[in-house]
Amino acid sequence: MVKNVVFVAPFFLETTLRFVAAAASVPGIRLALISQDPVQMLPAELRGRLSAHRRVKDGLDPDQITVAVQALSREMGPVSRVLGALEELQVPLAVVRRRLDIPGLSVEAARNFRDKSRMKDVLRAAGVPCAKHGLAGTVSEAKKLAAEIGYPMVAKPPAGAGARNTFRVEDAASLDQCLRLTPPSPAQPMLLEEFIVGDEHSFDAVSIGGKPVWHSLTRYYPGPLEVLQNPWIQWCVLLPREVDHPQYNDIRGVAVQALDALGMGTGLSHMEWFRRKDGSIAVSEVGARPPGAQFTTLISYAHDVDFYKSWANLMIHDAFSPPPRAYAAGIAFLRGQGRGRVKGIRGLEQAQKELGHLVVEARLPRQGQAPASSYEGEGWVVLRHPETRVVQEGLRRLVSHVQVELG
Ligand SMILES: Nc1ncnc2c1ncn2[C@@H]1O[C@H](COP(=O)(O)OP(=O)(O)OP(=O)(O)O)[C@@H](O)[C@H]1O
Ligand SMILES: [Mg+2]
pLDDT at 162: 86
| Residue owning the nearest CA to atom 2 of ligand 1 | 195
CATH code, domain with 360: 3.30.470.20
* Ligand 1 binding pocket includes 117 (Cβ within 6 Å): no
Based on the fold, state whether residues 278 and 234 are members of the same structural domain.
yes
CATH code, domain with 184: 3.30.1490.20
Question: Does residue 330 belong to any structural domain of this protein?
Answer: yes
Report residue 88: phi and psi, to 5°.
-65, -15
pLDDT at 161: 84
Based on the fold, state whether residues 40 and 168 are members of the same structural domain.
no
Residue 215: domain span: 198-406
Ligand 2 centroid–CA 225 distance in Å is 9
- Each residue of 179-231: pLDDT tens digit? 999 999 999 999 999 999 999 999 999 999 999 999 999 999 999 999 999 99
Based on the fold, state whether residues 173 and 203 are members of the same structural domain.
no
pLDDT at 276: 98
Question: Does residue 353 belong to any structural domain of this protein?
Answer: yes
Based on the fold, state whether residues 177 and 223 are members of the same structural domain.
no
* Ligand 1 binding pocket includes 291 (Cβ within 6 Å): no
Number of domain units in the chain: 3
Confidence at 248, pLDDT banded by 50, 70, 90: very high
pLDDT at 282: 98
% of the chain exceeding 70 in pLDDT: 100
User: Is the predicted pLDDT of residue 337 greater than 90, yes or no?
Assistant: yes
Based on the fold, state whether residues 226 and 352 are members of the same structural domain.
yes
* Ligand 1 binding pocket includes 193 (Cβ within 6 Å): yes
Question: Does residue 112 belong to any structural domain of this protein?
Answer: no
Instruction: Kindly provide the residue ranges of all beta strands, DSSP E only, lying in 277-394, ordered along the sequence.
Output: 281-287, 328-334, 336-337, 342-346, 359-363, 379-385
CATH code, domain with 54: 3.40.50.20
User: Is the predicted pLDDT of residue 160 greater than 90, yes or no?
Assistant: no
Confidence at 255, pLDDT banded by 50, 70, 90: very high
Ligand 1 centroid–CA 295 distance in Å is 16
Question: Does residue 402 belong to any structural domain of this protein?
Answer: yes
pLDDT at 195: 98
Based on the fold, state whether residues 84 and 44 are members of the same structural domain.
yes
Ligand 2 centroid–CA 162 distance in Å is 7
Q: In whole angstroms, give the CA distance from residue 211 to residue 214.
A: 9
Task: Report the candidate in 27, 274, 329, 342 with the shortest Cα–Cα distance to residue 128.
Answer: 274
Confidence at 102, pLDDT banded by 50, 70, 90: very high
Question: Does residue 118 belong to any structural domain of this protein?
Answer: no
- Each residue of 280-312: pLDDT tens digit? 999 999 999 999 989 999 999 999 999 999 999
Average pLDDT over residues 170-177: 96
Model confidence, pTM = 0.97
User: Is the predicted pLDDT of residue 368 greater than 90, yes or no?
Assistant: yes
